[in-house]
Amino acid sequence: MENQTLALIASFIAMAFVVIAYFVKKKAYYLLCELLCVVFLVISYFFTVQFFAMIGLVVGLFRTVTFFVYENKDKQAPIGWSFLFSGLTIAFYFIVNFGILKTAQPLDALCVLALVAYAFIFRIRNLKIVRFTMIIPTVLSILFNVLTRAAIFATLTYVFELCANAVSIFKYHIFGKGRIDIKKILPSRSKYEHFK
C-alpha cells in the first residue's frame, strides 16, 4: 500500500492548488482550491500510511464542501458547523489512534489543533482575515509533518502554502489595494511642531 512516488505526485498537485488559493479574489474560489488541495493531500497521506492525518483531512473535505456551499449562496455558515467538524475531528482521532491503530502520540496534538483551527478559519468570509489567521494552522501542520517524518512533499505542500500566504499578504494587504496605510498609523508631524 505504501508508495512514496504516488504520495509525491499527489502532494505536488495539492501544492499547486494551495498556492492558487491564496491569489484568488473570491472566498468561494479560495474554498474550491482548498477543497481540491485536501483531496490530493488525503491521497498523499493514504500512500504514506498516515491514517489519522488522512481521516482528519476527510473530515476537512466535508467541512470545506459545507463552507463552500454557504459561500456560494453568499452566506456565512453557522458557527455550529465549526464546532461539529471540530468535534468529529477529535472523535475520529480517538477512535482511530486509540481504538483501532493504537498509535496515538503526543505530536498528534499539532495535527488535531491545526484541523480544529481550519474548521473555524474557513467559516470566516473576509479573505484578509483568512490569510492572516491561516498562518497558525499552517505552521502547526509543518511542525507535525516534520516531526512525524511525513513524506517530504506533504511537508513541502504546507511550506509552499505558508510562502504563498505570506506573498499574498504582502501583495494584497501591505503593497496592494487593501494595504495598511502607514500614514494613518503614525501621528502627523503637525502634532509635534510646537516642540521645535
DSSP string covering 86-114, please?
A: HHHHHHHHIIIIIIIS----TTHHHHHHH
| pLDDT confidence bin for 115, thresholds 50/70/90 | confident
| Mean pLDDT score, 65-92 | 93
123 phi and psi angles, rounded to 5 deg? -75, -25
| Mean pLDDT score, 70-86 | 94
Does the pLDDT value for residue 190 go beyond 90? no
Q: d(Cα 126, Cα 173) in Å, to the nearest integer? A: 12
Neighbours of 192 (CB within 10 A): 9
Annotated domain spans of the chain: 4-195
133: left (phi over 0), alpha (psi -120 to 50) or beta: alpha
DSSP assignment letter at 126: -
| pLDDT confidence bin for 182, thresholds 50/70/90 | very low
| pLDDT confidence bin for 179, thresholds 50/70/90 | low
